[in-house]
Amino acid sequence: MSDHPKAFDDFRDTRRETLDLVRDLSQEQMEFSPGSGKWSVGQVLDHLVRSDDVFHGEYDELLRRWKKKCGTVGLYRSLSDTGISVPLVPELFLPLFDLPTAMAGVLIPRPVRQVVFRNRLVPAKAPRRLAPRKGRQAGELRDDLSGYLAYLEGYFAGNPDVEWQKLRYYNPLCGFTNLPGVLSFLASHEKRHQGQIRDILGAEGFPRAA
């Protein structure tokens, strides 16, 4: 059995492309914002880091359940669990939208979901727990992003007997999928933000290298 699902290769290549985009950026360039309320490159990267942190925990929980059962296991996350908001809906009433959202996850095919999610013409707002922090050091951000690849390599290489397709997962963004499907979703998510980074790098007023 392969040490890791094929979806990891796409995620790894996507992460390396992100690192190449920001490899030589200074702290000033990282913190440049193209306009009021718009993210800097550093904020985009911190958003990716925070997403890594969230899914790090989800992977570990799925693996713990697999080792206990050695069969198909699942993890379900509701709107409230993920911190995803619904416009004009108070947080108290979010549970009422869990079933309709789950049905959409069944009816919308994964490839369609990923194409829509990658398209930056479709507006998206980060959940509160993934909102980026300002002012993080450029080197720390790059180290966090590259270090996550090392974590995933060890995660898969250290568990070669796990049948990754049987680690089932659901949240309102990913829909109903499995661990390889989560990796594919996260690669699509990151590619969306690569377009955002490129826009910032080409924005008027972006600081040029000395």
Render pLDDT for 2-27 as a digit per residue (tens, 0 to 9).
467 889 999 999 999 999 999 999 99
Collapse the DSSP code of 67 into the 3-class scheme (helix H, G, I; strand E, B; otherwise coil) and give the result: helix
Q: Rounded to whole angstroms, how far apart are CA atoms 89 and 162?
A: 40
Look at the alpha carbons of 166, 47, 210, 208 in this order and tell me if their dihedral is positive or negative. Answer: positive
How far out from the chain centre does Cα 129 lie? 12
Q: Say what the pLDDT of residue 171 is.
A: 82
The phi and psi torsions of 169 (rounded to 5 degrees) equal -150, 145
Q: Are 209 and 36 in contact (CB under 8 A)?
A: no
Q: Say what the pLDDT of residue 77 is.
A: 81
Which range among 67-71, 157-161, 184-188 shows the weakest confidence by mean pLDDT?
67-71
Render pLDDT for 70-124 as a digit per residue (tens, 0 to 9).
788 998 887 666 655 444 444 544 454 444 454 555 555 666 555 555 555 444 5
- Whether 161 has a pLDDT exceeding 80, the answer reads yes
Joined tokens for residue 176: 């109903």
Query: With bands split at pLDDT 50, 70 and 90, how would you rate the model's confidence at 127?
Result: low
Q: Say what the pLDDT of residue 96 is.
A: 43
Q: Are 74 and 159 in contact (CB under 8 A)?
A: no
User: Where are the domains positioned within the chain?
Assistant: 6-201
- Whether 48 has a pLDDT exceeding 80, the answer reads yes
Q: Say what the pLDDT of residue 26 is.
A: 96
Instruction: Tell me the average pLDDT of the chain.
Output: 82
Burial degree of 44 (CB within 10 A; 0-12, 13-18, 19+): buried
Q: Are 152 and 11 in contact (CB under 8 A)?
A: yes
Higher pLDDT, 146 or 94: 146
Q: Rounded to whole angstroms, how far apart are CA atoms 71 and 17?
A: 35
Nearest to 199 by CA among 113, 121, 135: 121
Residue that the structure tokens 């702290």 belong to: 27
CA angle 164, 165, 170 (to 5 degrees): 105
**Please, how many CA atoms are within 13 Å of residue 111, restricted to the half-sphere of its CB?**
0
Q: Say what the pLDDT of residue 175 is.
A: 80
Collapse the DSSP code of 98 into the 3-class scheme (helix H, G, I; strand E, B; otherwise coil) and give the result: helix
- Whether 173 has a pLDDT exceeding 80, the answer reads no
**What are the start-end ranges of the E strands in the chain?**
73-76, 167-171, 175-178
Q: Say what the pLDDT of residue 210 is.
A: 59
Residue that the structure tokens 């990754």 belong to: 164
Q: Say what the pLDDT of residue 88 is.
A: 44
Tell me the fold of 6-201: Four Helix Bundle (Hemerythrin (Met), subunit A) (1.20.120)
Mean pLDDT of 136-143: 96
Q: Output Rg (C-alpha) for the chain, integer angstroms.
A: 18
Q: Say what the pLDDT of residue 86 is.
A: 46
The phi and psi torsions of 131 (rounded to 5 degrees) equal -65, 135
Q: Say what the pLDDT of residue 122 is.
A: 45
